[in-house]
Structure 1
Amino acid sequence: MVWGATYLIIHLAMRTSGPLFFVGIRFLAAGLLMALVFRRCLAGLTRREMGAGAAIGVAIFLGYELQTYGLQTIPSSQSAFITALFVPMVPLLQWLVLRRPPHAMGWLGILFAFVGLWLLAGPQAGAFSLSPGEIATLAGTGAIAAEIILISRFAPTVDTRRVTVVQLLAAGALSLLLMPLAGEPVPAFSWVWFCSALGLGLASAVIQWTMNWAQKSVSPTRATVIYAGEPVWGGVIGRLAGERLPALALLGAALIVAGVIVSGLRPTFSRRRGFRAAAERPRG
């Protein structure tokens, strides 16, 4: 619910700030808050935790910077549904990077999600084209999928409190350091970007630590179903703020949510087949 509410806030904040500056302030605020909360355990920071936090921080920077850039030109509800594609993207990345092909329901979820994207994208729903803002958001979605894989890879073997601090500070610092290269100026002071950045910094801190902590004990299937609520809340809040999506775009949004849920499910018969194969396997 909190994650879904952030899209509209960023969309409004982009009227007074550039994306790199906003993302930098947002995640530095989140990192400093987490450093204050977990200050007693930071002395035990290891080289592995530094590396894990830095890698996750780069993925966070790419994901949120591209998403924030896209929110300059596309509605918050549309951004929320495109970003939800990170869930069916995860099995694709696992296949490409870890050589673990998606299961049948994973492929079905991917199909639903990308048909939904086709209906949702373009200046008019159903047009087979992507605007620059949609392309940036879609690319950021791939980075968020990479973040999920990295968290799953490192979470069982590191202290999630220390890694959370490192990843948030790394994402914020990288964003601010790249401002001169991108030619983005420091914006004039505005209470809009200031309050939005601090508020989203608090939200980011809570979200990132919760993800790192929860993925130790919550199954991928349950997590996927929970994550499917993010774009729904983003769409609801955007609708309350006056945003309107065409009927075909709404159908595409529904297909994306269906793809998110389906990709995390496994049929009962496939689980039974796996149990039967395990039972029949020779022992000793």
Structure 2
Amino acid sequence: MSEDIKLCDKKKSLMLDLSLLLVALTWGGNFVVLKNALDDIGPLFLMAIRFTAAFIIMSITFNKKLKIISRKDIKAGTIIGLFIFLAFTAQAYGLKYTTVSKQAFLVGTNVVIVPFLTWIIYKKNPGWEALTGAVLSCIGIGLLTLQGYNFSINIGDVLSLGCAFFIAASMVAINYFLSDSDPIVLAITQLGAAALFFIIISFVCEPTPKNITTKVIFSLSYIVLLATVGAFLIQNVAQKYIPPTRTAIILCMESVFATLLAALILKEKMTVFMIIGCLLILLSILISETKLSFLKRANKCSGDRAVDNRA
């Protein structure tokens, strides 16, 4: 009986991991789609439409959940929604000044930030692995933003790093509030809060778009249905059972997917420095999240074989 339960848990864990990997793939494509859409519409209005449409779709689909929304859920959704608002504002504006490839990897550094935020909230020391990962990540970012033979970080790179921080904050916040909240209710409230923030700021800071092109409509269809409604719903449900650091390591694959798609679709090129920087960032993620446990297992297996040979 216990073996059946363990097998069921493994299958459930695998399905959750695969669902988050699907979210990573969707968000990786989102970088490319956003880059194209921003040619015809302002970033704030694009995000206002994105989150408002997503909120309406979620509210209609799960209308019965609206009856159980409490003040606590609204408060939690508002906090998470604020982090989402800040993250996606930074992402959208950052894409206007940097490439998809660079932003994808810079945003991917959120996986290194998550353990430190978790440390602050839960008082859990991230350990030397996380510190080592952070240092390697910083070096990787430096190489990634290298232009010619001078280190130069433009405003798009800075905004992309800001996006990484707020995404990490949203992951930790989701995990914190999910302990006593329904994941679907939380998804609805956080999307609603983000939509409200974007609506207010877009009318204040940007001119109202006069013409929504076919390209923008196509981009919004992908962004709303797949990258927002589907992705946030899956993430919230998965994080009910998966800790934020594990969620972060899976979702960081969006950087890889985004870079591959940017090369295939947008024909973006990567320099040798950028490739080395990307590899260092991926190495930092590997060290931070796996704590090199696979090496420990390999050494243990080697030791066991040596004992058996001596016997």
Q: What TM-score does the superposition give when structure 1 sets the normalisation length?
A: 0.88
Cα pair 1:67 1:140 within 8 Å, conserved = yes
Q: Tell me the distance in 1 between the aligned counterparts of 2:175 and 2:291.
A: 19
Instruction: Note the 1:196-215 alignment, pairs <5 A.
Output: 196-203=219-226, 204-215=228-239
Q: Tell me the residue number matched to 1:41.
A: 65
Distance 1:191 1:210 in 2: 28
RMSD: 2.1
Find the residue that maps to 2:151 and give its secondary structure: coil
Partner of 1:190: 213
How many angstroms apart in 2 are the aligned matches of 1:191 and 1:208? 25
8 A Cα contact 1:120 1:250, kept in partner: yes
Q: What corresponds to 2:194 in structure 1?
A: 171
Of Structure 1 and Structure 2, the greater helix share is in 2
> Equivalences for 1:9-48 in 2 at 5 Å?
9-48=33-72
Residue number in structure 2 paired with 1:262: 287
SS in 2 for 1:172: helix
Shift of 1:99: 4.4
CA distance in 1 between partners of 2:224 and 2:239 (Å): 21
- Radius of gyration: which is bigger? 2
Q: Structure 2: how far apart are the matches of 1:157 and 1:187?
A: 44
How far apart in 1 are the matches of 2:123 and 2:148? 35
User: Match for 1:226: what amino acid?
Assistant: I
Aligned pairs for 1:149-164 within 5 A? 149-164=172-187
Letter in 1 for 2:95: L
Deviates more, 1:217-226 or 1:131-140: 217-226
In structure 2, C-alpha distance between the alignment counterparts of 1:99 and 1:38, rounded to whole Å:
36
Tell whether the 8 Å contact from 2:114 to 2:248 is kept in structure 1 after alignment: no
Moved more, 196-205 or 51-60: 196-205
| Contact 1:121/1:127, CA 8 A, preserved across alignment | no
Instruction: Give the 3 Å change call, closer, same or farther, for CA 27–183 of structure 1 in structure 2.
Output: closer
Residues 251 and 157 (structure 1), Cα distance of their counterparts in 2 relative to 1, 3 Å cut = same
**Contact between 1:49 and 1:163, CA under 8 Å: does it hold in 2?**
yes
Assess, with a 3 A threshold, how the Cα gap between structure 1 residues 251 and 129 changes in structure 2: closer, same or farther. Answer: same
Which residue in 2 is equivalent to 1:275?
none
Q: Does 1:250 align with 2:275?
A: yes
Matched residues in 1 for 2:72 and 2:163: separation?
A: 26
CA distance in 2, matches of 1:92, 1:47: 29
CA displacement at 1:181 relative to structure 2 = 2.7
Report the Cα distance in structure 2 between the residues aligned to 1:106 and 1:184, rounded to whole angstroms: 43
| Deviation, structure 1 residue 261 | 2.4
CA spacing shift, 1:184–1:118, aligned 2, 3 Å:
farther
Write the distance in 1 (CA, Å) between the matches of 2:243 and 2:190.
Answer: 23
Structure-2 change in CA distance of 1:33 and 1:95 (3 Å): same
Question: 1:239 maps to which residue?
Answer: 263
**Range with greater deviation from structure 2 (160-169 or 211-220):** 211-220
The unaligned stretches of length 5 or more in structure 2 are: 1-24, 298-311
**CA–CA distance in 1 between the matches of 2:214 and 2:148?**
35
Structure 2 CA distance, aligned partners of 1:219 and 1:43?
Answer: 28
Please say if residues 175 and 244 of structure 2, whose CA atoms lie closer than 8 Å, have aligned partners that are also in contact. Answer: no
Give a deviation string over 1:191-226, Cα, whole Å, max 9, x none: 222221232011211111111110122245543432
Match for residue 50 of structure 1? 74
Cα shift at 1:110 = 1.1
Cα displacement (A) at 1:128:
2.6
1:189 match: secondary structure: coil
Structure 1 gap ranges (5+): 273-284
Question: How much identity, in percent, do the aligned residues show?
Answer: 28
Compared CA separation, residues 265 and 221, structure 1 to 2 (3 A): farther
Residue among 164, 173, 178 paired with 1:141? 164
Inter-partner Cα distance in structure 1 for 2:92 and 2:154: 15
The residue number in structure 1 matching 2:98 is 74
